[in-house]
Structure 1
Amino acid sequence: MQKNAWMIRAGRGGIYSEDFEKGFAAVGWSQLGDLSQYSSTERLRDEYIKIYGNDKPSATANALAMILKFRDQIAAGDYIVSYNPETRSYLLGVDQGEYRYQPGTIGDYPNLRRVEWLGKVSRDQLPQQAKNSLGSTLTLFSLSQDTIEAFLTILEGRTLTPTAAEVAETDSAQLKDQTVAQSHELIKDKIAALLPEEMEELVAAILRAMGFNAKVSPKGPDRGVDVIASPDGLGLTQPRIKAEVKHRGGAMGAPAIRGFIGTLREGDSGLFVSTGGFSREARYEADRSTFPLTLVDLDDLADLIVSHYDNFDLEGRALVPLVRIYWPVD
């Protein structure tokens, strides 16, 4: 018997990924309370509109469909997938067949399902077709058997073989969202493939595109500073930005952040870039810094590139070549 498969996102930016790993998958809509109290779709729809409004009927319909799928359609034995964008890894597990309302377990996501996780798969290991199928921005959506087979093949150490593409019907708005999400992930793939030295040049290019004079520090003992930027290029005017760039080094912890803060002086603003992401302790350390300090992970880098690409110089465009895609206006 063929099992169904579902992607369930762990909050924006995968904020609840670590909580999911404890044996759960969860969704929000916390103001609805216990979803099992709604005996009919009509009751659920009326309460949803009462709480969240109905300015966009199509968005309301999508939300209700996801809520009902989470509560009723996912069944014991179904495959569950979730994604952590900081580590660029997917969790694959098996649903244990139980919806529960349990506030306080996973942030503001009180609606839970028990999941037995089978293992993790790096996005870089997946074939392109599987990457494309995982690009939707929806909180919950179904996955093809081909995609799950790719996950299982990798986890079991077998060799991947090409499969025929699955064509799904979708409306224009959903297709646009999916295309944007896929584009975002493909840009992250390009960034992840850069060498560490190229990553430093990319950060400098982004800062130049934002209007700063930025340059990579000379090779040698940089005392934790890889890129220096300021309005005048001399560091005599503020904001004076010092950036540390870590690539392919895994998630940065609190000691790395404390060490970088130690290089900052009065008038400095800090930028710490880590394509491997940051631990919770690292983010806490940054929040309590007495210097202005911003942490940038791989997702943030992709967003910055897209936002400022029109102003990229030739050096920046050579590192991450992109082409503009036009979409019809509704």
Structure 2
Amino acid sequence: MTSNNKTMWMVRAGEAGWRFDEFERESIVSIGWDEMGDLTALQGRDAFMRQVEISYPKAKPSTYPSSAGQVFRFVREIKVGDSVLTYSPPQRSYLVGVVEGAYEYAPTASAEQPNQRKVRWIGRVMRDNLSVATRNSLGAISTLFMVPVEAAAEIERLLSGAAQAVVSTPAAPDAEDQVDDLYKDIQGKAFEFIKDKVSQLDWEDMQELVAGLLRAMGYKTRISPSGSDRGKDIVASPDGLGFEDPRIVVEVKHRTAAMGSQEIRSFLGGRHDNDKGLYVSTGGFTKDARYEAERARIPVTLMDLDDLVKALLEQYERMDIDMQRLIPMRKLYWPA
């Protein structure tokens, strides 16, 4: 709840805020999901979930809970007297108001967004005047969500004129630090999600991924057939046959258990003097295994899951399309 004991909701005015002017002019907020029809008779969340499934049979089942939850909140959880805001990306401003009406089904007002509520608009708050933390909390892509307590309180203070505008250009040093912290947080989350994707590969795909990584680094690879590989899964070299140096012999272990010193010794047992070793273990390595690799007679690199993902990120754009399909990723641009 906000400082005046009212819950605050964000209700987006359609994609890119296309209904923002209508929201203001007609004193309403509205949402879509028009194929669900009149929602007046629906009560509990389960009823909304069933209606979503019936109305959108071709949608991914994973999207049902989010859709049902947002519609349920609009119809049942938003109360008369709650605060509400909506955003105009072109104007970079938030329209702030108070909910004054119960849920209405109004297809004649808007066929695309027939579910609406009456609102009394109070004023506007410019996005540039908000703190980085509040801007971030309002950046969710959901059509409808509850605004965090601290963000709601800041918006109310600005609306009442109790807070001074924050000069955002050039950004204050503390704002820059907050943006940098946010970037690091997103980077960290992205890294963990990529690790999750890599972990979900089966052993054969993991082997293909490691081979693809080596090809991106300029080597040609040969993958051992299924069955006994005599301590090697992949051989990488400039010529692809293993005649030219460097000849890199690769072992891939895709399991949760850490590899110990015995596994490293077994791997090193059949190596030639000019070989280079790469041991990939998604379960990591024990301290003894790392010690064994350090004192090996040939150079050996141990690559755990973190190392593998870091190398994948460094080489991703040079990897062939089949390898990129194993771990599909998209680039995210961030202000420097």
TM-score, normalised with respect to structure 2? 0.48
Which has the larger Rg? 2
Answer 1 or 2: higher relative contact order, Cα 8 Å, separation at least 6. Answer: 1
